[in-house]
Each structure stands twice: as structure tokens, then as C-alpha cells.
């Protein structure tokens, strides 16, 4: 089955062309066009898979990577990207819970303070009425 394709003409600095030729030799591809075609296909595939995501580069200590790879091997995640996503999602949920609970605790303390203040004012009014009588 043949598929339609379009021809593109591109201009590259000589240095880039030399690098593409070196890649062709290392990979065993037949032509520089094959190298460019494969690079474009990889780029398009990567972009399609991250259309609703951001690519982040992070430095992670080797000991943590070893643990992550162990959990990946045991089937807890399919790859490092998924493991990082799961870890960040868990961390975010913990933070949300912490701040929401903290916010609720703050609301409770404010309500108690308002109630206490109201009680003090009520007692002060009662005391002043008792003095007047």
C-alpha cells in the first residue's frame, strides 16, 4: 500500500548537514533524507503525545531513580514519565488536603473567636445594665 507524501526543500547550514550525514552513517540509514524523515516523525509523534502536557527537565538523585526503576520493573508504572506524574499527582493531593484542612481549621478558629468576642460583649452589656439598675 502506498501513501501520498509531499516533497520539502530545506536549507541547512553545512555543519548541520555534516551532522545529519554522521547520524546516517551511525544508524545505517540509506540517506540524509531518511534521517530527516525519521527525525520529523519522532518529533511529530512526541508532540502528539504531549499535546496536553508540558515537558519538564529535572535533576533527580541517583538513589531515587534506582527506586523508581525498581517500582517500574514491578509494574507500578510503565515508565519514568508516568512514575513522575503519579508522584507529582500524589504530592499535589497531599498539599491540597493540607491547605484545605488548614483553611477549615482557620475558619473554625475565626468562628470561635467571633463567638467569644460576642459573648464578651454580651457579658459587658449585661454587667453595665446591672450597674445601672
Per 3-state DSSP, the chain is made up of helix, strand and coil in percentages (nearest 5) of 75, 0, 25
Kindly report the pTM of this predicted structure.
0.43
Rounded-to-10 torsion of CA 60, 63, 64, 66: 110
CA-nearest of 42, 17, 45, 54 to 32 is 17
- Report pLDDT for 112: 87
In contact, 32 and 20? CB cutoff 8 Å: yes
Rounded CA-CA distance 85/90 in Å is 9
- Report pLDDT for 45: 81
CA-nearest of 93, 95, 91 to 103 is 95
- Report pLDDT for 52: 76
- Report pLDDT for 56: 82
CA-nearest of 49, 53, 28 to 38 is 28
- Report pLDDT for 99: 80
Q: How far apart are the first and last CA of the chain?
A: 105
Low-confidence ranges of the chain (pLDDT < 50): none
Amino acid at each position: 500500500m502506498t501513501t501520498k507524501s509531499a516533497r520539502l526543500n530545506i536549507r541547512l547550514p553545512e555543519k548541520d548537514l555534516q551532522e545529519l550525514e554522521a547520524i546516517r552513517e551511525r544508524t545505517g540509514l540509506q540517506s540524509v533524507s531518511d534521517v530527516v524523515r525519521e527525525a520529523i516523525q519522532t518529533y511529530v509523534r512526541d508532540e502528539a503525545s504531549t499535546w496536553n502536557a508540558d515537558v519538564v527537565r529535572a535533576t533527580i538523585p541517583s538513589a531515587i531513580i534506582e527506586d523508581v526503576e525498581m517500582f517500574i520493573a514491578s509494574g507500578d508504572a510503565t515508565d519514568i514519565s508516568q512514575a513522575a506524574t503519579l508522584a507529582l499527582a500524589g504530592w499535589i493531593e497531599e498539599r491540597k488536603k493540607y491547605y484545605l484542612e488548614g483553611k477549615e481549621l482557620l475558619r473554625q478558629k475565626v468562628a470561635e473567636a467571633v463567638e467569644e468576642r460576642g459573648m464578651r460583649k454580651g457579658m459587658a452589656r449585661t454587667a453595665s445594665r446591672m450597674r445601672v439598675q
